[in-house]
Every structure is written in C-alpha cells, then in structure tokens.
C-alpha cells in the first residue's frame, strides 16, 4: 500500500467493524482491522466495546474464549477481568492488580444497526461524532440488503469515485447517460456531492425507459459514504445506499454495501426493485475493482474541466491524517 499511495493506509475517523445483530448481550467477536487484532464484545447492559485483542498478562487473545462477566470481559487464560475503560479490575487468584494492567480501548458508537469504531493513529479521542440518521428506521423504508467485498485499495481512493463524475459516464455508461448539473459543498468532516443525472438504468433498459432524478452523496470522513437517490421514471422511488470502507491492513479494505428503498406500490414490487438496485450497484462495483486494485496515485493528475471536484476532495481528505511519512509528506501536500 505504501508503494502506491503517499499517505497512511489508516486514516483517522469512524469505521464500521460489525453489525448490531451480530453481537447479542454477552457476545464476543474477534476482529482484525487497521493492521491489528481487536476484540469486540457487548456487556450485559447492552453496550458494545472494542479493545486491543491481547491480554497484557501473557498475551492471550480475548476474542477466542474470552467471556463477558457483567460489564467486564474475562481473559480465557487466567481469568483477569477488564472493565469498559480497559482497566483490570479483578484477578481471581490474587488480591493485588498490577498498576499497568490495562488494555487499550477504542471509542465505539452504535446507530442504525451499525457498530462503528473511531480509529486514530496516535490514539487520540474522537474530534467529531457520527450524526444519527433517524429516517433509516422508518417503517416507510425496507430493511437493508447487505453485500461485502475484500478489495485491494484505500478508503480515500474508493470514496474519490463519487467525485469522479466522468468515470460514471464512461466506465458505467450503462447506468449514467448524462449529468446535467453537479453541486459540491464541505462542512468540516462532512463532504456532500449532489448530482442531477439522466439515467438509463438496467432495470428499465429492456423497456427503453430513461429516468431522471437527484443523487446526494455524503461522505462522513473516509469510512462511510451515504448515497440518497430520487429516481423519476414510470414510477418515482427513493433509495439509500451505504458504502462502508474499513481498512483491514495496509493492502486491503473490508467493503460493505447496504441498500434500502422507500416502499412503493406493494411489497413484491418494492423488494424486486431493492434487489435490482443491489444488482446494479454490485455490477458497477465489479467494474471498478480491477481499476482500484491496479491503479497508481498521481499527486498532480492531468484533469479536464469535466472531471468533477477531485482536487477539492483530496484537499478535504488531508484532515484525516495526523502525520505523513517523512519522505512523502511534501509530495502529499502538493496533491
């Protein structure tokens, strides 16, 4: 990864590490993200926690055989118990706890069925919070369909696709015929791209039906991208697509795509549309994957006036890196 990109493989920010329904109260789950082993568990009062995985005593992995005991996690090797702050609060066979018996916790938030972790390369606390999205829980919308991939790329590279409007027309020409107007705005750690495209969606292609609408793509840091689309054709429908991008190690991303649509006409038509839209997104993603996995990063690319706000996006992305490799920092800042 460092040979392809002049910035850290692990940007700071919020990233998905699990779904809520994967972790019942008392559940324990091993994870591997950001190039290290982690353990996810849910305390008996229902709160998810994420720690570095290994017990500071003799190095056992808490994700394999570890147990939740009240609001602590207990090491499977010698029974040491650690509270939510990662402090050892009990050793079953000793009355004294070593003062350095502590595991590094990671900040966690849970909303709309997602368990998110805040990663910072220097272990600093969150400088911003993920907003809630109350509309996602509305009965007017379907449950999310989920699909995942392991892709050799970087979250900044993958999220840049939303800014690169020209590739939508060329690489995914079956889906987008023309984009009449694009809007772009930045609000701190949130970036929004609004498009007003004319589609020729595959789900209507055989009928020769075009569609118009609005697409609003919101980036919350480099780990989560929410795409809302209003599509107007023979019927009008609304879709939500989530792209959740979490670094596994210096080479690969854990990529999850979630699709929900607002109910239309009846349940059968709604579910058919949701499945078709997931298929369309998956098809487009598979077109992108060989490009992402084999491209290089040009710090000063040759751009045409119709390429979209790629450079403003890159400038916005700089805030998610706390430091840059010494030999490459000047190169990155020139991007």
At 168-179, the pLDDT tens digits run 777 766 555 556
37-51, 76-90, 150-164, 177-191, range with the lowest pLDDT: 177-191
- The reply to whether 152 falls in a domain is yes
pLDDT above 60 (res 208) = no
177 and 210 together in one domain: yes
CATH number reported for the structural domain that contains residue 180 in this entry: 3.90.380.10
- The reply to whether 182 falls in a domain is yes
Residue indicated by tokens 């298929």: 279
Who contacts 12 (Cβ-Cβ below 8 Å, separation ≥6)? Answer: 118, 119, 120, 121, 124, 127, 221, 320, 321, 322
For the chain, the helix, strand and coil percentages under 3-state DSSP, each to the nearest 5: 20, 35, 40
At 263-288, the pLDDT tens digits run 888 889 888 888 988 998 898 899 99
Measure the N-to-C terminal CA separation of the chain; round to a whole number of Å: 18
Who contacts 251 (Cβ-Cβ below 8 Å, separation ≥6)? Answer: 1, 9, 152
Mean pLDDT of all residues belonging to the chain: 87
In 3D, which of 3, 11, 1 has the Cα closest to residue 314?
A: 11
Give one DSSP letter per residue of 307-328, joined into a string.
S-SHHHHHHHHGGG-S---TTT
- The reply to whether 328 falls in a domain is no
50 and 90 together in one domain: yes
- The reply to whether 5 falls in a domain is no
Angstrom distance (rounded) from CA 86 to CA 71: 11
- The reply to whether 220 falls in a domain is yes
Asked if 266 and 162 count as a contact pair (C-beta separation under 8 A), the reply is: no
99 and 168 together in one domain: no
**What b/e string do you get for 152-170 counting C-beta neighbours within 10 Å, with b at 16 or more?**
ebbbbbbbbbbbbbebbee
CATH number reported for the structural domain that contains residue 32 in this entry: 2.102.10.10
Residue 32 tokens read as 């591997």
Last residue of a domain, one of 91, 119, 147: 119
105 and 178 together in one domain: no
Who contacts 333 (Cβ-Cβ below 8 Å, separation ≥6)? Answer: 318, 324
Identify the residue with better confidence: 284 or 92.
92
Which residue range forms the structural domain that includes residue 23? 13-119
Last residue of a domain, one of 66, 94, 119: 119
Residue 219 tokens read as 């980036």
pLDDT above 50 (res 326) = no
pLDDT above 60 (res 209) = no
At 232-243, the pLDDT tens digits run 776 778 889 999
At 97-114, the pLDDT tens digits run 999 999 999 999 998 899
68 and 148 together in one domain: no
- The reply to whether 210 falls in a domain is yes
Q: How many domains does the chain have?
A: 2
């Amino acid at each position: 990864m460092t040979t392809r990109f002049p910035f850290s493989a692990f940007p700071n920010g919020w990233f998905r590490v699990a779904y809520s329904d994967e972790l019942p109260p008392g559940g324990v789950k091993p994870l591997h993200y950001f190039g290290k082993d982690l353990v996810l568990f849910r305390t008996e009062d229902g709160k998810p926690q994420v720690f570095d995985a290994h017990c500071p005593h003799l190095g056992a992995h808490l994700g394999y055989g570890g147990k939740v005991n009240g609001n602590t996690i207990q090491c499977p090797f010698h029974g040491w118990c650690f509270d939510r702050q990662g402090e050892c609060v009990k050793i079953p066979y000793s009355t004294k706890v070593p003062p350095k018996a502590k595991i590094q916790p990671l900040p966690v938030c849970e909303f709309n069925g997602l368990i998110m972790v805040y990663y910072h390369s220097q272990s600093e606390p969150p400088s911003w919070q993920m907003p809630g999205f109350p509309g996602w829980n509305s009965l007017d919308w379907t449950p999310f369909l989920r699909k995942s991939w392991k892709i050799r790329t970087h979250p900044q590279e993958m999220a840049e696709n939303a800014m690169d409007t020209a590739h939508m027309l060329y690489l995914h020409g079956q889906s987008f015929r023309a984009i009449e107007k694009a809007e772009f705005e930045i609000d701190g750690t949130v970036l929004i791209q609004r498009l007003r495209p004319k589609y020729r969606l595959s789900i209507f292609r055989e009928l020769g039906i075009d569609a118009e609408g609005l697409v609003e793509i919101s980036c919350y840091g480099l780990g989560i991208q929410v795409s809302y689309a209003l599509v107007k054709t023979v019927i009008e429908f609304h879709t939500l697509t989530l792209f959740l991008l979490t670094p596994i190690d210096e080479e690969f991303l854990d990529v999850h795509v979630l699709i929900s649509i607002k109910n239309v006409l009846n349940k059968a038509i709604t579910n058919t549309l949701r499945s078709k839209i997931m298929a369309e997104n998956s098809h487009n993603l598979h077109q992108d994957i060989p490009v992402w996995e084999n491209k290089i990063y040009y710090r000063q690319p040759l751009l045409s006036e119709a390429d979209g706000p790629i450079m403003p996006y890159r400038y916005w992305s700089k805030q998610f890196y706390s430091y840059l490799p010494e030999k490459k920092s000047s190169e990155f800042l020139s991007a």
